[in-house]
Amino acid sequence: MSTPELTDKLLAIAYNDIDLVQRAIRSAAAEDPTKPADLEKVVSYILKHRKPLPEKVA
Amino acid sequence: MSLAWTTIFVIVLLLPGVFFFIGFATRERYSREIVRSTAIAEVGLALLFAGLLHLAAWQILYWSIGFSPARFLRPLGMYDRIPTWLMFEYGFELLWPILWYVVVTAIIGFVIGMLAAGMVVSGPLRFLATHKWVYQVQKFSGRRGRVVTAYVMTTTAESGKILMYKGSLQELYLDAEGKIAYIVLRSCSRYLMRIDEEGPVTGTQLPLFKDDSPPRSWDYLMISGDNIANVLFDPSPEIEQTKAGSRALEKAVAELTKKVEAVEAKVSRRGWSRGRKSS
């Protein structure tokens, strides 16, 4: 997966919340600062912490 | 007539150098002036590069097929001593190999230019760039799994409050002086900054679209350089793309796509029924 594609997908599942994406990456990277952030942990963090879709939309 | 032929001859000989710079510009999307030079110096560099490439091509052709330019072009030197019809025959015989030579050397120039531009962006030839910092930003935004957030302070101010934007960096272009020509952000939010006695204070961040609008596949905000006071770039740590991670992401995207399709279907049904009622 290319970087723009990965970024687009992470932003999409975070409902375009860039703060949440950055927090998720930093949180996953903080677990082991010697390694890059694990994508699985990033996705899991986003799904757990993203705001619910507004009622009108959902 | 001879003047026109000389011009064409010079242009054809310069083509590899010109294509080198075209290739060089393929990766150079951030500044018009990647190399510290003027327009005249660029023509000089094109001439130098074209000369070097022709010399190399000549040497390779000599080694491989014993090519000699003097022998190859000899019939043209006797144009005043041979009949016109024979001259035409010679001319057309020479035309194809010359055209192929021009095309191949131009393509080689283009490819070398592209490789050189890639090395400027990735690092080894960075010293050639006039505005080096932007290539660092480009490298980070292009590196596997990094998200670069840009905080843009605009020149729009009202009652001591300054309009700010924040979003994921998509595109960034500089003008020849190294100033930002324009910047493109994705997933953007806007907010205000107030400068009081205690220092700058930022307000609540608001999305550009209403909260109740369905999630979008993409949205871009382009901010013109005239409207930018300064920009802060904040790259995230790198992400490692594991198989399990990619599977989890694809699953989440598929679920989101289903949700969006359901919302779109609901919206279109609502619009259709409203249309029926009004008619």
A38, A45, B274 from A32: Cα distances, Å: 10, 16, 55
Bridge partner list, B163: B192
Angstroms from A48 CA to nearest CA on chain B = 12
- Say how far apart CA A46 and CA B123 lie, in whole Å: 33
Report yes or no: B254 and B203 within 8 Å, Cβ to Cβ: no
Q: Which residues of A touch B189 (CB under 8 A)?
A: 18
Which of A2, A3, A15, A41 has the highest number of chain B CBs within 10 A, making it the mutation to test binding with B?
A3
Interface of B with A in 25-64 (CB under 8 A): none
Report yes or no: B148 and B137 within 8 Å, Cβ to Cβ: yes
Closest Cβ opposite residue B237 in set A7, A15, A25: A25
- Say how far apart CA B177 and CA B183 lie, in whole Å: 16
Domain boundaries, chain B: 2-128, 133-237
Coil, helix or strand at residue B149 = strand
Report yes or no: B174 and B182 within 8 Å, Cβ to Cβ: no
pLDDT of residue B32: 44
Coil, helix or strand at residue B159 = coil
Coil, helix or strand at residue B176 = coil
pLDDT of residue B153: 94
Angstroms from B75 CA to nearest CA on chain A = 56
- Please name the amino acid found at residue B21: F
- Say how far apart CA A53 and CA A57 lie, in whole Å: 6
Q: Is B240 on the interface with A (CB under 8 A)?
A: yes
What residues have CB less than 8 Å from B246, skipping those under 6 apart? Answer: A1, A39
Distance of CA A51 to the CA centre of its chain: 12
pTM here is 0.68
Record the tokens describing residue A16, joined without a space: 């375009």
Are B144 and A46 an interchain contact pair (Cβ–Cβ within 8 Å)?
Answer: no
Report yes or no: B102 and B95 within 8 Å, Cβ to Cβ: no
Sign of CA pseudo-dihedral B130, B132, B137, B142: positive
pLDDT of residue B12: 79
Per-residue pLDDT of chain B (279 residues; tens, 9 = 90+): 566 777 777 777 788 888 887 777 776 654 444 455 566 777 777 888 888 888 898 899 889 888 887 777 777 777 778 888 887 887 788 888 888 888 998 899 899 888 888 887 777 777 777 777 888 887 777 666 688 899 999 999 988 899 999 998 888 888 877 888 899 998 888 999 988 888 888 888 888 877 666 666 677 899 999 999 999 999 888 888 888 888 999 998 898 888 877 777 776 666 655 555 554
Lowest-confidence pick of A11-25, A32-46, B116-130, B224-238: B116-130
pLDDT of residue B2: 64
